[in-house]
């Protein structure tokens, strides 16, 4: 697989050509945000494939926390599982796990706690320093790029055009904004330094516009 001219850690994807499994794909600058139906389609696909539990947990971590793909790839057992053996309510990312080398705290929702608890039950690994999301061939974790490639493969096989690993983060922020969460709160949840950065993530869709016009006098 050859991927040309793409930085999976960047905020946006520039217009590049990807050669993925013999297919040439042009990706737009902004990754696609997913509807609930499209996410369900992806989850239904991974349920039929190998590593179904792990892949579902990865997808749900991105869609329910807005974590960057590099942050998800860097997660260790001790980051997610507490001394009591339960999934933590907050994940404290160290500077070496984040973009820009600035530590931050990720709040874990009850729904994500349930997802990660179900996945953790399938793990045989007890080493607290082991990767929380190990690769299939070895017990080490993904790199940011290999996880991004893996997710892009999943989205394409599920038939979701224009989606990438960054779709998880954009979808999370867009959905939260649509539900009325303030941009300042979103900025904190996403780990952004500037509100303008957070605003650029929000994808205004038809449903949001319809709801907005109904608020007019």
pLDDT digits (tens, 9 = 90+) for 150-190: 999 999 999 999 999 999 999 998 888 888 888 888 887 88
How confident is the model at residue 124, as a pLDDT? 81
User: 7 pLDDT exceeds 70?
Assistant: no
Residue 92 above 60 pLDDT? yes
- pTM comes to 0.79
Could you identify the residue written with the tokens 């996880």? 147
Higher local confidence (pLDDT), 100 or 93 = 93
Question: For residue 2, which phi and psi values (nearest 5 degrees)?
Answer: -125, 130
What's the whole-number mean pLDDT along residues 58-67?
Answer: 95
3-class state of residue 185 by DSSP: helix
Give per-residue pLDDT as tens, 31-42: 899 999 999 999
DSSP 106-142: EEPPHHHHHHHHHHHTT-----TTSBSSB-SSSSSB-
Q: What is the mean pLDDT of residues 74-97?
A: 94
pLDDT of amino acid 22: 42
Q: Identify the band that residue 138 occupies on the pLDDT scale cut at 50, 70 and 90.
A: low
Contact status, residue 85 vs residue 62, Cβ threshold 8 Å: no
Flag whether pLDDT at 212 surpasses 70.
no
pLDDT(27) > 50 = no
Provide the b/e sequence for 36-50 (b: ≥16 CB within 10 Å).
eebbeebbebbeeee
**101 or 18: whose pLDDT is higher?**
101
pLDDT at residue 82 greater than cutoff 60? yes
């Amino acid at each position: 697989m050859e991927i040309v001219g793409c930085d999976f850690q960047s905020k946006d994807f520039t217009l590049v050509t990807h050669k993925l499994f013999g297919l040439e794909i042009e990706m737009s600058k902004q990754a696609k945000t997913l509807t609930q139906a499209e996410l369900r389609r992806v989850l239904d696909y991974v349920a039929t494939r190998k590593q179904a539990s792990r892949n579902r947990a990865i997808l749900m971590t991105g869609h329910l926390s807005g974590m960057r793909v590099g942050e998800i790839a860097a997660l260790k057992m001790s980051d997610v599982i507490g001394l009591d053996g339960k999934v933590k309510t907050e994940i404290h990312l160290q500077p070496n796990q984040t973009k820009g080398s600035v530590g931050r705290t990720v709040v874990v929702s009850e729904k994500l706690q349930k997802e990660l608890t179900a996945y953790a039950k399938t793990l045989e690994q007890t080493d607290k320093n082991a990767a929380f999301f190990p690769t299939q061939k070895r017990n080490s974790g993904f790199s940011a790029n290999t996880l991004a490639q893996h997710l892009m493969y999943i989205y394409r096989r599920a038939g979701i055009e224009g989606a990438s690993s960054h779709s998880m983060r954009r979808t999370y922020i867009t959905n939260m904004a649509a539900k009325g969460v303030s941009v300042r709160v979103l900025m904190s949840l996403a780990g952004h330094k500037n509100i303008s950065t957070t605003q650029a993530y929000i994808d205004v869709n038809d449903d949001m516009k319809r709801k907005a016009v109904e608020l007019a006098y």
